[in-house]
Amino acid sequence: MMKGLGWPEVTVHEIGVGRARRRTGVGWPGEESPRREEVAPREDDGGAAGSPGDEGAAAERSGPDEEAADADGGSPTNVVAMAAGGEPKGDVVFPPLPLPPHTRTFVVANQKGGVGKTTSAVNLAAALAASGAHVLVVDLDPQGNASTAFNIEHHDDVPSVYESLIDGQPLSEVVHPVERFPTLFAVPATIDLSGAELELVSVIARESRLKKALEAHCAEREEEGRRYDYIFIDCPPSLGLLTINALVAGDEVLVPIQCEYYALEGVGALYRTIERVRTQLNPRLTISTVLLTMYDARTRLSAQVAEEVRANLGAAALDTVIPRSVRISEAPSFQQTVLTWDASSSGALSYLQAAREIAYRAVRQDEAG
């Protein structure tokens, strides 16, 4: 039987949703059918996770703070034992991580496409939310891929971040909760956002539209006693007005860098743009985090790129790297993060470990004053 665009129809059992959903070969949804069997978590066939020197295994580097957390059951290994002991149902919960003393707003940016910006934003946000943090993800990419990963509708008629930027609609009216993560929320993006940069050209203080919207929304949450611990702004693969709005609204920049040579070429331009924004519009902006993605331990190139990034960017680069992983690539086609799609995969482990690094860095920085 053929369906949709001519792709053969298949049945895929979704983990943790209690039903089997019929989909075509490229993930197009079809009719739902009753669930008939349990599906055990599948072994990932991606590359190794962890630091570049730990080839062949999902490795983690732990400092003193992380080792202390491991003793309390906070390690990714213990997390997987909990998640994979039976098929996860209901809310996703992992051992708690320390919360920052104030809201940390990350701008996930890199003008090169395909380096893992959206994938990193949604999976880090999910990992932190499952560990007890209140997290908001703002989808600022007209493609709406972050909205897709969270299973949030983002067709033309859905109120989105576009209405907040152009019409001044409060963000509280366009924020959506994310299924299975009680403390995770998202602002969707629609295709209307593709024309926002032209519409913003004649607007006064056009670079600060997102900042004002976020400040007003965060103030409302503070009054209600529900402060966000983390905000992730997923930027489009460009350095236009949308990305400038994100850089003005944020405090920290998280730069995903693919472990391939071409990914390094555009980093210089991104850093120059960030420096101009810091000088003229947002002096508090810092490049706090660099995340190496699509690391393949089987190739010498990945190790060389990782070494060069660490040599040039120093302490900003996380010890954890994200491996090439089929599970990470599969998850969005089923409107899920890799944490709900396959919690035992090397990709899920790596994002959990990266989230722990981010959380403990804030603790150490706060202790250092």
Question: Do residues 306 and 313 make contact, with C-beta atoms less than 8 angstroms apart?
Answer: no
Q: Using one digit for the tens of pLDDT, what is the confidence trace for 97-154?
A: 999 999 999 999 998 888 999 999 999 999 999 999 999 999 999 999 999 999 999 9
- Distance (Å, rounded) from C-alpha 316 to C-alpha 319? 9
Q: How confident is the model at residue 31 (pLDDT cuts 50, 70, 90)?
A: very low
The predicted pLDDT at position 11 comes to 39
pTM score, whole prediction: 0.78
Expressed as residue numbers, the domain containing 22 is 1-39
25, 45: one domain: no
The predicted pLDDT at position 312 comes to 87
The contacts of residue 262 (CB under 8 Å, 6+ apart) are 112
Phi, psi (degrees; rounded to nearest 5) at 85: -65, -25
Q: Using one digit for the tens of pLDDT, what is the confidence trace for 235-252?
A: 999 989 999 999 999 999
Look at residue 21 and give its three-state secondary structure: strand
2, 61: one domain: no
Residue among 357, 352, 321, 362 at smallest CA distance from 78: 352
Structure tokens at 103: 């809201």
The predicted pLDDT at position 46 comes to 46
Q: Bigger pLDDT: 21 or 201?
A: 201
What mean pLDDT comes out for the span 213-236? 96
Question: Do residues 342 and 328 make contact, with C-beta atoms less than 8 angstroms apart?
Answer: no
Which region among 4-18, 152-166, 190-204 has the lowest average model confidence (pLDDT)? 4-18
159, 145: one domain: yes
Q: Has residue 279 got a pLDDT over 50?
A: yes
| pLDDT above 90 as % of the chain | 63
80, 17: one domain: no
What mean pLDDT comes out for the span 281-293? 96
78, 12: one domain: no
Q: How confident is the model at residue 64 (pLDDT cuts 50, 70, 90)?
A: very low
8, 81: one domain: no
16, 62: one domain: no
Beta-carbon-side half-sphere exposure of residue 271 (alpha carbons within 13 Å): 14
Tracing tokens 């079809």 back to the chain, one arrives at 30
180-183: long-range contacts, CB 8 A cutoff, minimum separation 24: 180/16, 180/90, 180/91, 180/92, 180/340, 181/91, 181/92, 181/126, 181/129, 181/130, 182/91, 182/129, 183/129, 183/132, 183/133, 183/134, 183/135
Which region among 82-96, 120-134, 286-300 has the lowest average model confidence (pLDDT)? 82-96
- Distance (Å, rounded) from C-alpha 214 to C-alpha 217? 5
Question: Do residues 24 and 10 make contact, with C-beta atoms less than 8 angstroms apart?
Answer: yes
- If 0-12 CB within 10 Å is exposed, 13-18 middle and 19+ buried, where does residue 108 land? buried
193, 336: one domain: yes
Tracing tokens 């490795």 back to the chain, one arrives at 59
- Distance (Å, rounded) from C-alpha 293 to C-alpha 257? 6
23, 71: one domain: no
21, 86: one domain: no
The predicted pLDDT at position 28 comes to 44
DSSP class per residue in 286-310 = EEEEEEEEEE-TT-HHHHHHHHHHH
- Distance (Å, rounded) from C-alpha 267 to C-alpha 132? 33
- Distance (Å, rounded) from C-alpha 6 to C-alpha 25? 9
341, 363: one domain: yes
175, 110: one domain: yes
- Distance (Å, rounded) from C-alpha 252 to C-alpha 246? 10
What mean pLDDT comes out for the span 176-183? 96
**How many structural domains comprise the chain?**
2
What mean pLDDT comes out for the span 158-176? 95
What mean pLDDT comes out for the span 290-307? 94
The predicted pLDDT at position 50 comes to 53
